[in-house]
Structures are given as C-alpha cells and as structure tokens.
Amino acid sequence: MSWLQRFTSRAEEPTEMEEMDSAMKQALGDFKASVHAWSDAAYSSPRMVRNAVVHRTWRLAAGWSIAAVLLAGTLSGGLYEQHRRAVEAQVAAAQEAAHQRELAAQRAQQQAQQEDDILASVDKDISREVPNAMEPLAALTDESSTNGN
C-alpha cells in the first residue's frame, strides 16, 4: 500500500463525528461554543493591572552614601600619604642639616687645631734660646725693667 493510497482511503472513510448520534454532536458543539465564548470573554475583558510601586529610594541613597564614603576615604588617604611624605622630607632635611653642621664644626675644629700646630711649630722654629755670651746683657735688661717699676 503506498503513501498516497493510505491517505486517500482515510479521506473517503466516514469520520467518527458523522457516526455519532445527533445528541452527542449537539452536546459537543455546545461545549465547543461555550469554550470559545469563555475565551473570547476572557481576552476581551478589561484586565486589572497591578501597579507595582517599588520603593528603591533607600537603595539609591545608600549607593550614593557608599560612593561618597569611598571617595572621601580615597582622597583623605592620598592627602595623608602626601602629608606623611612631606613630614619625612622635612625630618630628613633637618637631619641632613644637623649632620652638615656637625661636619662643618669638626672641619673648623680640625682647621683650628692644624693652625695652632703650624703656629706652634713656627714659633718653636723661630724662637731661640739666648746664647751664653749674651746672658749678662739679658739679665741687665730684666733688672732694669724690674727696677724701673
């Protein structure tokens, strides 16, 4: 039996609806009409739409508050870090200046010591003891200065 033959043979057969009695046909027809009427009424009736009001103002305020806190924290952290670095730089500069002053004082003291040593060596080299032959003359000078006073 081919495909075409199967469908043509079915089309020629009487349907079950035709075989049913007329009361059954009438009941099913009424049921079908009431279902269609109910669905038309359901689709055409005005619908009640719930107006869903969602209060999200607290979420908006909380979001802005958190953003403001984060911004303030970030800015204050940056300012604190900048201030800390400035204070560290001032302390380092003061320590460096104190160290430079200490080095300058040590250099001045060393230079003064060297000058004193040089003057002492020059004084030692220049000064001579009075020779023995001149002692009586030196003694006279010492006596005359003591007597004159």
For 53-100, the pLDDT digits (tens) are 777 788 888 999 999 999 999 999 999 999 999 999 999 999 999 999
What secondary structure letter does DSSP report for 20? S
C-alpha to C-alpha distance for 43 and 5, rounded to whole angstroms? 43
> Looking at residue 19, what is its pLDDT?
64
Tokens of 68: 């403001």
Cα 71 off chain centre by = 10
Q: What digits encode the pLDDT tens for the residues 98-110?
A: 999 999 999 999 9
C-alpha to C-alpha distance for 75 and 81, rounded to whole angstroms? 10
Whether the CA torsion 116, 122, 126, 128 is positive or negative: it is positive
Q: How confident is the model at residue 10 (pLDDT cuts 50, 70, 90)?
A: low
Q: Which of 106, 109, 105, 127 is nearest to 117 (CA)?
A: 109
C-alpha to C-alpha distance for 108 and 44, rounded to whole angstroms? 110
